[in-house]
A and B are shown apart, each in its own frame.
Chain A
């Protein structure tokens, strides 16, 4: 018998052969298909739950550490306080005074050579323009205040100067309150201030709090506009959640 004949003998005999499988085979198939379905439907929920647990765990692990560091290194705390104080007091006091009273109150404190403020006079006497401009400048000043880091950077530079328009002629006096700079008496603090703008300015987002650290880490993974979880980026010690995006569910605290 040739090999091919043998093959053909087997092939032809099996063509018509049928053997009924036991009943348990079908129940096994049905059970496994059910199990697969359940697994698949649970997956998204499990992954979301796992993500939340992970975020909370990271939070719990890292929060206490930051407080500890601050306690151990009081200088860091002090500088932080000073800088925040600075940023809070940098705002210029804008006062609207009597129409004909002429005041020139541009205060320049060059004592420590940290900053000089030029007082710019505007001779616009038209009332309509005046109120408008006052408003606009007020807004600008608010903007300056909203970006304390930027101000700090310029302060750190000995030669930096801030240009603050003065409307003394227009019954508006601008008082740059830079007395607080006297806080920076110690050279150490000065050095710290110098150092800060050097290390920080390159990055678009400054890391000022634990919330920022989380945001950066999450942003590296989640490229959406609304991240999976967002933390507040204030200078406060606690990072509070300001937004959650679970795909279907989006929660965001307006800033």
Chain B
């Protein structure tokens, strides 16, 4: 893949390993927009997500020399973003707030972006509205593909808690989607 006529990703990575600022900036521009979406999924709002993104990229450049090229670079960056997000979550939401399903589900937030077709932005906002604990587990299990055991270790919770939080998160999301679909049909009809 060519970013600019001259550089491939691999060349940029190699130059990043020496700490070259221009290469770092080009690499950042290549992945930032995609990685911000990853962070947004873990964050309550965009500001939090950008903090996570910033911390994540600093670590990417500090650890660039450790990247051995075993997997894809994008996958490696994404894992760092996820860990940066978990760390941020731990710092700012130390206690896993297990919120009762009823409390969360009762007031469907009116989403300005809600349209008949559930686009990615809407789904993103649905995840962001989840209680932090549910959001973390749903992201890690459903979207990142970690096992409950891994999640339990990363989050410092029990496997059982991880499972129950995933199931509650799914229930809430389904309800929200159903409500929004109903609304949009209602407006349409």
Chain A nearest CB, measured from B32 CB (Å):
5
Is B41 on the interface with A (CB-CB < 8 A)? yes
Give complex CA distance A1, B170 in Å.
10
Q: Mark B31-64, 1 if CB is under 8 A from A, else 0.
A: 0111011001100000000100110011001100
Is B121 on the interface with A (CB-CB < 8 A)? yes
Give complex CA distance A16, B119 in Å.
11
Contact partner, A29, options B33, B36, B61, Cβ 8 Å: B61
Q: Is the CB of B54 within 8 A of A28?
A: yes
Is B128 on the interface with A (CB-CB < 8 A)? no
Q: Is the CB of A13 within 8 A of B123?
A: yes
How many chain A residues touch B (CB < 8 A): the figure is 26
Interface positions of A from 15 to 62, Cβ below 8 Å from B = 16-22, 24-26, 28-30, 32-33, 36-37
Q: What secondary structure prevails in chain B residues at the interface with A?
A: helix
Is B142 on the interface with A (CB-CB < 8 A)? yes
Q: Is the CB of B120 within 8 A of A14?
A: yes
Q: Cβ of A30: which chain B residues have Cβ within 8 Å of it?
A: 21, 24-25
Chain B nearest CB, measured from A22 CB (Å):
6
Q: Cβ of A217: which chain B residues have Cβ within 8 Å of it?
A: none
Q: Is the CB of A6 within 8 A of B174?
A: yes
Chain A nearest CB, measured from B151 CB (Å):
14
Chain B nearest CB, measured from A58 CB (Å):
37
Give complex CA distance A100, B28 in Å.
99
Contact partner, A10, options B28, B53, B61, B142, Cβ 8 Å: B142
Q: Cβ of A16: which chain B residues have Cβ within 8 Å of it?
A: 120
Give complex CA distance A28, B57 in Å.
10
Is A185 on the interface with B (CB-CB < 8 A)? no
Give complex CA distance A33, B24 in Å.
10
Give complex CA distance A7, B123 in Å.
11
Q: Is the CB of B37 within 8 A of A14?
A: yes
Is B65 on the interface with A (CB-CB < 8 A)? no
Q: Is the CB of A10 within 8 A of B37?
A: no
Give complex CA distance A32, B28 in Å.
14
Is B96 on the interface with A (CB-CB < 8 A)? no
Give complex CA distance A19, B58 in Å.
19
Closest 3 interchain pairs by CB? Answer: A7-B142, A18-B33, A13-B120
Q: What 8 additional pairs, Cβ within 8 angstroms, besides A19-B33, A29-B61?
A: A6-B177, A7-B170, A14-B37, A14-B41, A14-B143, A18-B34, A21-B53, A29-B28
